[in-house]
Amino acid sequence: MELTFDDVARLPMPGDNVAIASRRLEEGSRIRRGGSVFELDFTVLHGHRFAVEPIRTGEALLSWELPFGVATNDIFPGHYVCNDGMLEALSGRSGIEFALPARANFADRIESYALKEAEFQPGKQIDAVDASAAALTFEGFDRGQRGAGTRNYIVILGTSSRTASFARNLATRLHEQTSAQRAAVDGIVAVAHTEGGARATPNNRELLLRTLAGFCVHPNVGAVLAVDYGTEAVSNRHLQEYMQLHDYPIQKLPHAFMSIDAALEEKQRENEKLEDAVQGGGLFLGIPNMLIAEAKTAQGRALEGYTVGEIAARENKHPVDAFLDISLSEDLQTFFTSIPKETDTEAMREVINSPFVLPGLSDGGAHMKFLTTGRYPTDFISSLVRDKGLMDLEQAHWRLSGYSAMAAGFTDRGFLREGAPADIIVYDYDALRSLPPERLHDFPADDWRLAQKAEGYRLTIVNGEVTFEDGECTNASPGALLRHGQG
């Protein structure tokens, strides 16, 4: 699947050579940026960085056009950029089910900013407003010492990087679950970041605490919940002490400081597993991989051939939301199909060559609106035998005819020999293939069913009479109904 860069990442400044992922991106994802396409070498978590330009060994990694590290080996577009500290933190984190790089590809190197006084140009001060000239008012929220707000948000603050994921998940769930009960609240939002999660004191600790304190007392914030584990280099205790020391007006702000205990952390891990299952298609019948096969509206037909997951990524939606939006927009008339999962070729070779295995399905046509599994003889020969070479053609013929007839109790069928009924298929081995499914409205009340035809069949002969020729029915019906193997 090819993703558009602006849909999945951000480049803070034009001169940056690494980008920040705006959502989790899976290993192997292809990302188009401008006229080039590159592929991610590892899974990149939300908020982590990957290269968008070649970075040679010894060159600086740039974000906000400022160097934050130096490459310890050559880095190319699509490479996940990580240092030793990141790998150590991720390897000890629960819920990491994907592969991590074997070693870091950059080392920290943050250069102190040097003000060039000769080049500094102060901005022009705007003219002061004459408050006595008129009554200047606007609708908002009077926050006292904190000023006046034009919005009213509840903030879930991840005090350190370790609680960033918890803050995001909690804010999302509360926002969705309480939408009908909070008419006076504009939203519940997470403030999450990537700093202060380790035990060592970060070199930007003062700046980080000042930034978090500023978020807490911003006039657009109506209430705040700060979350930590209590053991980080930047914790709720540090934030409280900083705000008290510097007289931040938090007394009249509804607030709480919460530390995650073991029970809460376990619950969070369960929620993360559930979220991964939903995102990865483990739940909801694999919705992200469902294909728009047939739409009813012009807008829907533009989506035909795309998966729900691709549409969701393009529209920045959850796959379930995208699925429901598409369905409702077409009055539940959209036709979705599922993409078959890739099969382990060697496992399939072992199974189909077992002396106890017959090719076939026992479905009996029960899913006429959902599946067309009667194509299995065509797929067995064209895919497993011809394309993948998992079985000899002669063995495939035997299993589809004589062996199957014996298993069903037919002693006079499945053989080409003198005196036996002439039930024969004549086909073009190289041209044999299944065609795409199609809808046929041939049921009572114009109801429909799925049908799937094939190419490459020359003749179908039953009891010596041709019933199909080049895919066309001859209307001959030389067969007879069998009950318990008897005519």
Residue pair 311/265 in contact (Cβ under 8 Å)? The answer is no
The Cα angle at residue 449 between residues 339 and 408, in degrees rounded to 5: 85
Residue pair 449/443 in contact (Cβ under 8 Å)? The answer is yes
Dihedral (CA of 173, 179, 180, 183) sign: positive
- Rounded distance, CA 16 to CA 52, Å? 8
pLDDT digits (tens, 9 = 90+) for 233-260: 899 999 999 999 999 998 888 999 998 8
Per-residue pLDDT, 441:
85
Helices 308-315 and 319-329, packing angle to 10 deg: 100
Per-residue pLDDT, 485:
58
In three-state form (DSSP H/G/I as H, E/B as E, the rest C), the secondary structure along 80-108 is ECCCHHHHHHHHCCCCCCCCCCCCCCEEE
Per-residue pLDDT, 104:
93
pLDDT digits (tens, 9 = 90+) for 377-434: 999 999 999 999 999 999 999 999 988 888 888 888 888 888 888 899 999 999 999 9
Per-residue pLDDT, 60:
92
- Rounded distance, CA 433 to CA 382, Å? 6
Per-residue pLDDT, 239:
95
Residue pair 152/211 in contact (Cβ under 8 Å)? The answer is no
| Listed residue (249, 234, 262, 251) closest to 147, CA to CA | 249
Per-residue pLDDT, 173:
81
- For 393, other C-beta atoms within 10 Å of its C-beta total 11
- Rounded distance, CA 312 to CA 130, Å? 50
pTM: 0.42
Helices 319-329 and 262-280, packing angle to 10 deg: 40
Per-residue pLDDT, 292:
86
First to last CA, the chain: 53
Residue pair 153/188 in contact (Cβ under 8 Å)? The answer is yes
- Rounded distance, CA 388 to CA 381, Å? 10
Per-residue pLDDT, 456:
94
Per-residue pLDDT, 133:
61
The Cα angle at residue 470 between residues 464 and 473, in degrees rounded to 5: 65
Amino acid in position 167: A
pLDDT at 1 over 70: no
- CB under 8 Å, gap of 24 or more: what pairs does 1-4 form? 1/29, 1/30, 1/307, 1/309, 1/310, 1/313, 2/30, 2/31, 2/32, 2/37, 3/29, 3/30, 3/31, 3/32, 3/313, 4/31, 4/32, 4/314
The full set of domains in the chain, from first to last, is: 2-108 (2.30.130.110), 141-265 (3.40.50), 287-338 (no CATH), 345-473 (no CATH)
pLDDT digits (tens, 9 = 90+) for 33-79: 988 899 999 999 888 999 999 999 999 999 888 888 999 999 999 99
